Amino acid sequence: MTQLLLTGGAGFIGSHTCLVLLQEGHNLIVLDDHSNSSPVALERVATLSGLSASAESSTERLQLIQGDIRDSTCLGKVFIDARNAGKPIEAVIHFAGLKAVGESVREPLRYWDVNLTGSRCLLAAMNANDCRTLVFSSSATLYGYPKDVPIPETAPIKPINPYGHSKAAVEQLLHDLAASAPNQWRIACLRYFNPVGAHPSGKIGEDPLGTPNNLFPFVSQVAVGRRTSLQVFGGDWPTKDGTGVRDYIHVMDLAEGHRAAIDCLLAEPAQLLTLNLGSGQGASVVEVVRAFERASGCQVPYEVVARRAGDAAITVADPSLALQRLGWRTQRSLDDICRDGWAWQSANPSGYSDQQ
């Protein structure tokens, strides 16, 4: 049983990953400030993992600490308390961060602070406590407007917004750190494509604050009647039906990618891995709408409007390196994504606030 720290583990991707890692037998400490998540998510993770039957085992296997990754005192205490309890933290999965592109353009200082300063504080605490195994949540946003699709990891890093710049800076910091102490750091930078969907139980899922920026939660909220219609950003892209094409990855496939990355880092010599996590398949906006209508039995009315600034026509991963290095590939289809996304949205029309 490995003791893992998950920063931002109460969020969308973190909560699903917690579930997979608990089922794998790991012990988890989640550090989250709840700036973009509800504690209810982890209560449900505990129930789904069968932990809530015993409060004691629940606290032993899944511990939630409310705190900020920029708070070095809090971080130091997390590592020291775990060591004093006889279960030192062996590896960290670093999800905590801000992720809204438009917001990052309006508030670059906040994005650089949370995403870069927060990562630096975490890395310093890890180093000081001899914990040098890390999985970092990176993003396909690093590729900007990709020239070649499917996109290999060797494609140029050309972010086009402060969010992307902050992720690129953390990847650079991780390279510098690994180079400074050869054979010590085990690092995986996982570049996610478009994570969507939910756990098939419908108990946990994505719960964006306010109006969703991203396609999938917007479509779900139209289907459930929270919004009247979808705006499709551009019908004149050079794609199969004129709408933007993306590589949508089921969040449970992504969670399993983290399990594979942790297993690989802990089993192999020190290394720095950089991997795309995507399906390798592209779906257009209209294909997503149609798949969601089939899964939900609900209409998703839409109108085609002007292109959104900063969008690319097609973004699809070349995920072959992740298969080679981790033995991981996606298992779930767009229809599975929509079925599970609908299970979550229909059971929780207002997200976790339905319970609070």
* Site for ligand UD1 contains 101 (CB under 6 A): yes
For position 246 contacting ligand UD1 by CB under 6 A, the verdict is yes
Q: Is residue 281 part of the contact set for ligand UD1 (CB under 6 A)?
A: no
Q: Which of ligand NAD, ligand UD1, none lies near 34, with the C-beta cut-off 5 to 8 A by kind?
A: ligand NAD
Give residues in contact with ligand NAD (CB under 6 A). Answer: 7-8, 10-14, 32-37, 68-70, 95-97, 99, 114, 118, 137, 139, 192, 195
Could you give the CA distance from residue 277 to residue 328 in angstroms, rounded to a whole number?
Answer: 9
x/- track of binding to ligand UD1 for residues 175-194 (CB under 6 A): -------------------x
Establish if 119 lies at the interface with ligand UD1 (CB under 6 A). no
Instruction: Pick one of ligand NAD, ligand UD1, none as the site partner of residue 166 (Cβ within 5 to 8 A by kind).
Output: none
Q: Single out the residue of 306, 287, 203 nearest to residue 245, CA to CA.
A: 287
Going residue by residue from 131 to 170, which x/- string records binding to ligand UD1, judged by CB under 6 A?
A: --------xxx-----------------------------
According to CB under 6 A, which one of 231, 299, 331, 350 is a site residue for ligand UD1?
Answer: 231
If one counts every other C-beta atom within 10 angstroms of the C-beta of residue 63, the result is 20
- Cβ atoms of 193 and 246 within 8 Å: the answer is yes
Q: Which residue lies nearest ligand NAD, judged by its C-beta? A: 11
Nearer to ligand UD1, 145 or 324 (CB): 145
Q: How far apart are alpha carbons 171 and 111 in whole angstroms?
A: 15
Is 278:317 a contact under the CB 8 Å cutoff? yes
| CA distances, 233 to each of 62, 104, 114, 126, 246 (Å) | 41, 20, 29, 42, 13
In 177-213, which positions are buried (b, 16+ CB within 10 angstroms) versus exposed (e)? Answer: bbeeeeeebbbbbbbbbbbbbbbeebbbbbbbeeebe
Q: Is 111 a catalytic residue?
A: no
Instruction: Return the one option of ligand NAD, ligand UD1, none that residue 311 interacts with (CB less than 5 to 8 A, by type).
Output: ligand UD1
Q: How far apart are CA 40 and CA 61, in angstroms?
A: 17
d(CA 45, CA 316): 30
* Distance between CA atoms of residues 281 and 288, nearest Å: 12
Backbone φ/ψ region at 97: left (φ over 0), alpha (ψ -120 to 50), beta: left
Nearer to ligand UD1, 27 or 141 (CB): 141
From the list 111, 143, 163, 352, the catalytic residue is 163
Please give the residues from 308 up to 347 whose contact with ligand UD1 meets the rule CB under 6 A.
308, 310-311, 315
214 near ligand UD1, judged by CB under 6 A: yes
The set of catalytic residues is 163
